[in-house]
Structure 1
Amino acid sequence: MGTTVGTRLTAIICGRWSAWLVLLTMAAFSALVIGFAGDPRTGNDPTGALPDTAESAQVAELRRQLPGGQVNPALVVYSRDGQPLTAADDVAIAADREAFAREAVGEVSPPVYAPDRTAALVAVPLPAEIDPVALGDIVDRLRAQARADLPAGATAQLTGGAGFTADVAAAFDGANFTLLAATVAVVAALLLVTYRSPWLWLVPLAVVGTADVVSNGLIAIVSRAIDLRIDASTTGIVDVLVFGAGTNYALLLIARYREELRRVPDRRQALRRALSSAGPAITASAMTVVLSLLTLLAAVLANDRAIGVAGAVGITTAMVYGLVVLPAALSVCGRGLFWPFIPRPGQPDPTRTGLWARAGNLVSRRPRTVLAGSLLLLAVLATGLLDARLGLSKTEQFRVSAESIDGLATLSRSFPSGTADPVIVVADAARTPAVLAAVESVDGVASARPAGGDDDLAVIEVVLEAEPDSTESYQAITELRTALDAVPEADALVGGSVATNLDTRDAALRDLRVVVPLVLVVVLAVLILLLRSIVAPLILVGTVVATFFAALGAATTLFTQVLGYPALDTSVPLLSFLFLVALGVDYNIFLTTRAREEAPVEGTRQGMRTALAVTGGVITSAGILLAAVFAVLGVLPLVTLTEIGIIVGFGVLLDTLLVRTLLVPAIAMVLGRRFWWPSALARRPDPEPAAAGGGAGPEPASTSVGAGAQPAAASVSADPMPGRHADTGG
């Protein structure tokens, strides 16, 4: 915004009358998007997220071309709490089978009884290509029918692929509204505490809330334009991103505006200065997050790509509303918006002598000690990764009770664990005997039988002894594929939901290896362009990566030792890394860009102390708010989102309170002007202490900051942008 065009735009946004025009224009745009966006494109194909080259995806496509292949089975399990089923139970089960036929798209299977008659199983084929809500209605009717005339003491539970899909949809029924309501409540409460004003908090909350609704509309438009599937969890994540990042941008801009109001009588001039100063940092921060999210386009999992595109749209919208709508809204309001703590010219700046100024003094006295202690703490927290395990089974993915999970457990007590979720093998029909022989030779296979096909292709259902999605089941899938590859001319492929989940895990690990380096390159490039340095960006990226490993290790310990989660879900490491690195680097951008402003006049060490003093309060507020917003993901019923919320939330707090407050300033003070190498700042000697100006009170001029250190500035500058405001008398 330092260009002539930027200056003109700033003047228009903050003008007396033009601000109203900006607000009316953006209101019309918002109404247009909200009114005509429609719904996003969705899908419920279990293999839809996988690349076409995945074996399970190929099996799913081949089965769609076969008779009876477009079905999603619902399995109804009857039991008596471990006791044998009675003759009366048999009659009820037979009656249910006839009633189930009204909902089925094929023949309902005859009841299959366990050898000890402790359970019976009826398979009901339901349509595979159906909206999850419509499928949920069918499942509800089947469950009601199964329970209607059961003899006393008997129970009926619906599980299988259809039951699991319906329960996931039901778990999210109203959950995103709950998430949004909880997010708004958290943001409102923290803004109220931060501003201590009865109405100032309403302005940023209204702006960010509008940005969130508009971003959802834009995402719906984009999803239809590029055939992007958006599910409920993606919508929830984007809501959190928009509220978290958007509120952070608002906090930074309003803090800078308040700072300028203490210097300048004209509030619009103060707002223009604040927007000109904070705008580049906000833009750089937002573009870092957007570009990082877009690296997910290199992922092979469609769900990851959807989060990348949707998140990029959301963050861009939050940035635009934060840099256009928010300042325009502030422009039409007077200083009274800050009541009862109205900033006026001549008032002392409390950030200059507060907690964060004292933190800067502490770091400057013993930077090497602070540096060593911070690194040691991060290393200790990261040791939790030594016991980390990746991958959750179906029974481990819900934080709430689900009938499909309970039914799976009942089924596993009387039948082989894989009965509810058989593996599907598709092979050349002429090689069926050889394929069956190869399948039955694999350890962990309980049974195998032909289950349809046509003249060219045979479908074989394979029941595993291991629980679906367990390590043992994945090992069995791998051995099945190896054994079938050895059958000549069989062209056998292994699919089914267990194979799909294995392929998804492998794809997630591939995406982790590919996307993480891309994110680091993007963040490093943005920091190099912004700071015109190489050393500082490398250090900042290194500290954010260290924060990620520390947060992941600490959270893993919490999950396994306290919450009882057996593992991290496959998508958690990549998404947590992306959000934490992209969002966590924001605070370092805010700190170091301010330090770079101060360095030419105050020197690197004193400039970093000043930057820490004046940005500490707002960055800490922003970090706490962002952490709280991500923690709200815990209201959703899936373990995956809870894990992401806790990891990112804890990581943001760690970055805000430790890395940005202690570690980065300590490194900068140890390195001195070398921190900015190879920019001109690295070659410019630190000024004498008197050059920093007076202001916040005396400090020892010879404070030691390590070998070869320059003397610390005698005091913290009273002006956070020295030399900028000579024309205003501010």
Structure 2
Amino acid sequence: MNGWASWATVPAGRRGSWAVLALWALLLVPALLLAGRLGEVEQNDNAAWLPGGAESTAVVERAAALGAADTVPAIVLYDRPTGITSADLTKARADATAFGSVEAVVGAVRGPVASPDGKALQTVVQLRKGKDGWEGLGHSVDALTAIGAAHADGGAHSDGLGFHVTGPAGYASDSIKAFGAGGSLTTITAVVVVLILLLTYRSPWLPLLSLVTVGGALAVAEAAVFLLARYAGLVVNKQTGFILVVLVFGAATDYALLLIARYREELATRQDPHEAMARALRRCAPAITASAATVAAGLLLLTLAELNSTRGMGPACAIGVLVGWLAMLTLMPALLVVCGRRAFWPRRPEYGVAAPDGGRIWTRLGDAIARRPRTLWIGTALALGALALGCFALRADGLADTEQFTGHPQTAVGKQIQAAHFPAGAGDPLYVVARADAAGPVRTALASVPGVLALGEPLLTNGQILFTAELSADPSSRDAMRTVSLARTAVHAVPGADALVGGTTAIALDTRDAASRDDAVIIPVVLLTVLLILAVLLRSAVTPLLLIGTVVLSFGAALGVSALVFRHLFHFAGTDASFPLLVFVFLVALGVDYNIFLVTRVREDARTLGTRRAARTALTATGGVITSAGLVLAGTFAAMASLPLVFAAELGFTVAFGVLLDTLLVRSVLVTALALDTGPRLWWPARSTEPPTSARSETSPLRVT
């Protein structure tokens, strides 16, 4: 505490506050310039998502020597419900010729080929990704669409000629457009935060100061991530970018709420705002620091993941949390003391006047829990366990291309048309690389695999050979993944072939397998790490175990409810393979936050009131501010639903629901009931913090924050 006492005088001091503001102003000038360049270093191609040691990754690397690694197929579809006419065929052929003039087109355009039912045409165009990755593919697909739009009416009429671009290139184009909505996500998140803060404080200035601080933290975090990506090899993508925005807004605003609550409390007992802020920082900084350390540690453990996308997200988001922590313990205090009591206008806290009692509901809840704490915590735990049974309905083995979006983009519609008129796997084959001298046996092995329709002409270069294999199933389906497994078994058995199977379907399979491995490795390590941090913070063996148990129950319940909602209400086909791990890290780390805020207050008050009385007063003192913090965090994650992506909607819903569950039920009822039932044993094996019975103040006024 002495260290915090010395440090707190700097941002709270008369001169120190201005020095802190000057330092942040100097820092923000280059940060704002660099933050805007984060998109320059984003890697959104397959290499940014693939498991580093996966077989499909090795195929990409080996195919590079054959000149086939940097191309992605775009499947162009024409359909007419009454049947393709000769004029339609002429138009499609003209389009095929025009497609060849698009700069990114590689090799010969294949088609148009008529469907067996005569109602559709299909043309396959190979597109070079180039240095811009997904963005480059998006521009190329737009060029193809512009050519086709000149000859088709988009299927607007029942007898119109429909035109759609689908396949991997079409999916990449629609994905980049969906992620492009990330700019509006920042605005929506900011609006959500401001509205909740306005409702909480009834002041226009406190939300503004919080928004300025969070915005500064986000700019510095994005600048730091940009520098690490540019010069230290950190892999970031658009998924990391939008989660970083949500996490910084949510976590940093939570810290602001706790700081403001303590500051307001101290303004009632100290006339000088500088002294009040210094004391507020000394009292809340340890809990805020422990919270940030817990979240950052959990995120950094994502570097143990095999999935490149998950591994890169960990450090980037940890940086965001730590910068938010630093801003809320330096910039925010400086802004508050410079503004003085005016920051709370029109409800300024007055010296010597106790803050309005806003904790009556929490006092009554604490009294109710105190009557039968054991019954309540057992009943609550059983209820959470029952909700967790819904996890058995969760399908976390990935989403097909047509299942990735919440709406109906061009790719999804095109996929449906393709499936209705052509073999499902047409245009998106497997890629098999092998030694050239084993070409015959490898080809024979591939041809014998159930689910493989046809083999393309091989490409031979430098002693290596590349085969393509068309599948009978939709390349993004689970049936296609089973075909990949069979194909790998077949070609691996060819002696001396050194054969590997890759392609879009193989990437999806390897991603799913890597995600399962990441779950098994990282989840136990995160639990152990959080447990150790809690043990160090609380100097107890009992409390960390109880708190970990509550957040695991909360996570299970949130995941179980979400699985049922996804299937029966939203009608989503499943979840991304990395979904359970990301939800676990966010909910466990963020859920422990609120338990830290509550239990550290219990420990503080237990010295004068005793543990059981302190549990009730801590609930009253922290109930309002922690609930507001939970609403802010839930609101920021719920804002992710503004992105037209199933992954974003699922992650946002589950984390938002889990945070609310943790805030309103787990922290307020389950943890409080456990503390009341356990009593002084909560701090074992540390010495009891209980005061002598005669010294306990059973009539001490409750401090409401």
User: Which residue of structure 1 lines up, in the alignment, with residue 71 of structure 2?
Assistant: 71
Give CA-to-partner distance per residue, 1:219-270, whole Å, 9 cap, x none: 1111112222322221110011000000000000000111111112222111
The alignment partner of 1:648 has SS state of helix
Counterpart check, 1:477 vs 2:475: no
Give CA-to-partner distance per residue, 1:388-446, whole Å, 9 cap, x none: 11121111011122212211221111222111321111122232232222222222222
Give CA-to-partner distance per residue, 1:547-582, whole Å, 9 cap, x none: 000000001111101000011211111111111111
Counterpart check, 1:14 vs 2:19: no
Counterpart check, 1:397 vs 2:404: yes
The alignment partner of 2:342 has SS state of helix
The alignment partner of 2:46 has SS state of coil
User: Which residue of structure 2 lines up, in the alignment, with residue 357 of structure 1?
Assistant: 363
How many Å separate the matches in 1 of 2:187 and 2:197?
A: 15
Structure 1 residue 34, shift from structure 2 partner: 1.9
How many Å separate the matches in 2 of 1:637 and 1:487?
A: 45
User: Which residue of structure 2 lines up, in the alignment, with residue 411 of structure 1?
Assistant: 418
User: Which residue of structure 2 lines up, in the alignment, with residue 344 of structure 1?
Assistant: 350
User: Which residue of structure 1 lines up, in the alignment, with residue 156 of structure 2?
Assistant: none
Aligned to 1:513, which of 511, 520, 535?
520
Structure 1 residue 336, shift from structure 2 partner: 2.5
The alignment partner of 1:105 has SS state of strand
How many Å separate the matches in 1 of 2:404 and 2:15?
A: 54
Aligned to 1:657, which of 648, 664, 667?
664
Counterpart check, 1:144 vs 2:143: no
Structure 1: runs of 5+ lacking an equivalent: 694-713, 722-730
Judged with a 3 Å threshold, the aligned counterparts in structure 2 of structure 1 residues 610 and 466 are, in CA distance, closer, same or farther, namely same
How many Å separate the matches in 2 of 1:68 and 1:300?
A: 25
Structure 1 residue 290, shift from structure 2 partner: 0.8
TM-score, with length taken from structure 1: 0.92
How many Å separate the matches in 2 of 1:686 and 1:373?
A: 31
User: Which residue of structure 1 lines up, in the alignment, with residue 213 of structure 2?
Assistant: 207
Give CA-to-partner distance per residue, 1:155-212, whole Å, 9 cap, x none: 2211122111111112222x11110010000000000000011322211121112111
How many Å separate the matches in 1 of 2:691 and 2:454?
A: 77
Deviates more, 1:423-432 or 1:163-172: 423-432
How many Å separate the matches in 2 of 1:397 and 1:290?
A: 29
The alignment partner of 1:157 has SS state of strand
The alignment partner of 1:200 has SS state of helix
Structure 1 residue 715, shift from structure 2 partner: 3.4
Cα RMSD for the two superposed structures: 1.8
Structure 1 residue 663, shift from structure 2 partner: 0.3
Kindly provide the amino acid, as one letter, of the partner of residue 149 in structure 2: R
The alignment partner of 1:343 has SS state of coil
Structure 2: runs of 5+ lacking an equivalent: 154-158
Give CA-to-partner distance per residue, 1:262-285, whole Å, 9 cap, x none: 112222111111000001111111
Give CA-to-partner distance per residue, 1:608-647, whole Å, 9 cap, x none: 1111110111001100111111100111121111111111
How many Å separate the matches in 1 of 2:696 and 2:495?
A: 81
Structure 1 residue 719, shift from structure 2 partner: 5.8
How many Å separate the matches in 2 of 1:234 and 1:166?
A: 18
Structure 1 residue 118, shift from structure 2 partner: 2.4
How many Å separate the matches in 1 of 2:215 and 2:544?
A: 33
How many Å separate the matches in 2 of 1:10 and 1:306?
A: 34
Contact 1:242 1:318 in 2 (8 A): yes
User: Which residue of structure 2 lines up, in the alignment, with residue 724 of structure 1?
Assistant: none
User: Which residue of structure 2 lines up, in the alignment, with residue 102 of structure 1?
Assistant: 101
Counterpart check, 1:715 vs 2:678: no
Deviates more, 1:111-120 or 1:100-109: 111-120
The alignment partner of 1:92 has SS state of helix
Structure 1 residue 716, shift from structure 2 partner: 4.7
Aligned to 1:166, which of 157, 169, 173?
173
User: Which residue of structure 2 lines up, in the alignment, with residue 386 of structure 1?
Assistant: 392
TM-score, with length taken from structure 2: 0.95
The alignment partner of 2:121 has SS state of strand
Judged with a 3 Å threshold, the aligned counterparts in structure 2 of structure 1 residues 416 and 11 are, in CA distance, closer, same or farther, namely same
Contact 1:445 1:463 in 2 (8 A): yes
List structure 1 segments (4+ residues) > 6 angstroms apart after TM superposition: none
Contact 1:363 1:662 in 2 (8 A): yes
How many Å separate the matches in 2 of 1:247 and 1:371?
A: 30
How many Å separate the matches in 1 of 2:446 and 2:119?
A: 28
Identity fraction in percent:
43
Note the 1:179-194 alignment, pairs <5 A.
Answer: 179-194=185-200
User: Which residue of structure 2 lines up, in the alignment, with residue 133 of structure 1?
Assistant: 135
Contact 1:352 1:614 in 2 (8 A): no
The alignment partner of 1:564 has SS state of coil
Aligned to 1:218, which of 214, 219, 224?
224
Contact 2:491 2:499 in 1 (8 A): yes
Counterpart check, 1:588 vs 2:595: yes
The alignment partner of 2:473 has SS state of coil
Structure 1 residue 67, shift from structure 2 partner: 3.5
How many Å separate the matches in 2 of 1:337 and 1:535?
A: 41
User: Which residue of structure 2 lines up, in the alignment, with residue 26 of structure 1?
Assistant: 24
The alignment partner of 1:73 has SS state of strand
Deviates more, 1:135-144 or 1:248-257: 135-144
Note the 1:190-589 alignment, pairs <5 A.
Answer: 190-351=196-357, 354-390=360-396, 391-454=398-461, 456-589=463-596
Give CA-to-partner distance per residue, 1:695-720, whole Å, 9 cap, x none: xxxxxxxxxxxxxxxxxxx4354468
Structure 1 residue 39, shift from structure 2 partner: 2.2
The alignment partner of 2:456 has SS state of strand
Structure 1 residue 123, shift from structure 2 partner: 1.4
The alignment partner of 2:206 has SS state of coil
Contact 2:35 2:219 in 1 (8 A): no
Kindly provide the amino acid, as one letter, of the partner of residue 192 in structure 2: V
Kindly provide the amino acid, as one letter, of the partner of residue 77 in structure 2: V
Aligned to 1:638, which of 640, 645, 663?
645
Give CA-to-partner distance per residue, 1:485-528, whole Å, 9 cap, x none: 22222222110011001101111111111111111111111110
How many Å separate the matches in 2 of 1:417 and 1:489?
A: 33
Structure 1 residue 333, shift from structure 2 partner: 1.2
How many Å separate the matches in 2 of 1:500 and 1:534?
A: 44
Structure 1 residue 38, shift from structure 2 partner: 6.0
The alignment partner of 1:123 has SS state of strand
User: Which residue of structure 1 lines up, in the alignment, with residue 54 of structure 2?
Assistant: 54
How many Å separate the matches in 1 of 2:447 and 2:551?
A: 50
Aligned residues: 694
Kindly provide the amino acid, as one letter, of the partner of residue 71 in structure 2: V
Contact 2:214 2:248 in 1 (8 A): yes
Judged with a 3 Å threshold, the aligned counterparts in structure 2 of structure 1 residues 591 and 100 are, in CA distance, closer, same or farther, namely same
How many Å separate the matches in 1 of 2:231 and 2:176?
A: 25
Contact 1:14 1:271 in 2 (8 A): yes
Contact 1:427 1:457 in 2 (8 A): yes
How many Å separate the matches in 1 of 2:211 and 2:7?
A: 24
